[in-house]
Structure 1
Amino acid sequence: MRTPLAAVGLVALGVLLMANPLFLPVSVGEPNPAYTHTVQPVGEGSVAGIESPATGAANGSDAENDTNASDAVVAYADLAPDARAAFDRARDAPEGGFGVEDPDERVDSLSYPTEPTLGDGLLIVERDGERYEFWTRTVEREPGAVVAQRVFLQPVAFLVGFLAVVAGAAVGLRGRLAGE
């Protein structure tokens, strides 16, 4: 009588542990935002769809889109002084950008959306005859405890659950094979 009960208990425990993505991760805190500033030259693979002045206008677009693309270009001198400083800092950074975590360190004249679009988080800045994509965005990072749950706790719980199901099946089969 104990063997079938043990087998059912192990299988039930295993299924519960294997289903852990349904109830984990438990939110343990607010996302930790970071505010990024990135500058890269506008090129052929440009996300903004605008090429440098040397190669012409927008990538594979018609005349109407060319006009809209040229309207989206901002002269470096037209940027606010704090935006120019952020642009220069991002352009001169070895990684092509920098981030800040304190909301007070953001540049007031720039927007920081989570999904940048042309004109809102993405500016095409022309400086010294060169065009650059100037990205500003908010990146929401998860708290460390949630990351630990996803990287360590969930895989371990799934593995233990799988082993519990295998052990439950083995206990159940052992009892049948032994003739209990």
Structure 2
Amino acid sequence: MRTPLAAAGLVALGVLLMANPLFLPVPVGEPDPAYTHTVQPVTDGSVAGFESPATGAGNETDGGNDSNASDAVVAYADLAPDAREAFDRARDAPEGGFGVEDPAERVDSLPYPTEPTLGDGLLIVEYDGERYEFWTRTVEREPGAVVAQRTLLQPVAFLAGFLAVVAGAAVGLRGRLGGD
């Protein structure tokens, strides 16, 4: 009588442990934002899925109404001094960009959306005859406790649950086969 009870208990414990993402508390905290600045050359006529603005004389949209192309491209000299500094730092960085974590270190003249769009978090900067994509964005990272729970606690609990189910099945089969 004890063998079926032990087998059922191990299987129940195993199922509970394997279902741990459903019941383990996920701490709801403020996201840990980082603010990134990235610069890369404009290539192949498009900018991140957007049609690249006109690239010079003869490519204007319709002579007098060239607002879409001219609004999308910003001359390096027209950037605010702090934005030029950020552009230069990102362009010179080995990975093509840099990030800051302190909101006070952001560039006041630049927006930091979570989903950049052309003109809002994505500028086309003309510098020395070349065009560059200049991205600024907010990246919201999960708090450390959530990351630790998802990478350590949940997999370990799932593995322990799986092993408990296997052990419960083994105990149950051993009892049925007369191994007691």
Structure 1 residues 95, 57: CA separation in 2 closer, same or farther (over 3 Å shift)? farther
Within-5 A mapping of 1:38-49: 38-44=38-44, 46-47=47-48, 48-49=50-51
Report the secondary structure of 2:77's partner residue: helix
Structure 1 residues 132, 52: CA separation in 2 closer, same or farther (over 3 Å shift)? farther
Q: Which runs of 5+ in 2 are unaligned?
A: none
Report the secondary structure of 1:68's partner residue: helix
Structure 1 residues 124, 178: CA separation in 2 closer, same or farther (over 3 Å shift)? same
Within-5 A mapping of 1:9-88: 9-24=9-24, 26-27=26-27, 29-44=29-44, 46-47=47-48, 48-50=50-52, 53=55, 63=61, 68-88=68-88
Structure 1 residues 105, 179: CA separation in 2 closer, same or farther (over 3 Å shift)? closer
Within-5 A mapping of 1:132-147: 132-147=132-147
d(CA) in 1 for partners of 2:39, 2:25: 35
User: Are the aligned partners of 1:76 and 1:127 in contact in 2 as well (CA < 8 Å)?
Assistant: yes
Partner in structure 2 of residue 176 of structure 1: 176
Give the aligned CA root-mean-square deviation in angstroms.
2.4
User: Are the aligned partners of 2:4 and 2:172 in contact in 1 as well (CA < 8 Å)?
Assistant: yes
Q: How many corresponding residue pairs? A: 174
Structure 1 residues 145, 111: CA separation in 2 closer, same or farther (over 3 Å shift)? same
Q: What is the TM-score with the length of structure 1 in the denominator?
A: 0.86
Once the two structures are superposed, residues 40-85 of structure 1 have per-residue CA deviations (whole angstroms, 9 ceiling, x without a partner) of 010016314327838x969xxxx58x96344311111111111111
User: Are the aligned partners of 2:53 and 2:70 in contact in 1 as well (CA < 8 Å)?
Assistant: no
Q: Give identity over the alignment, percent.
A: 83
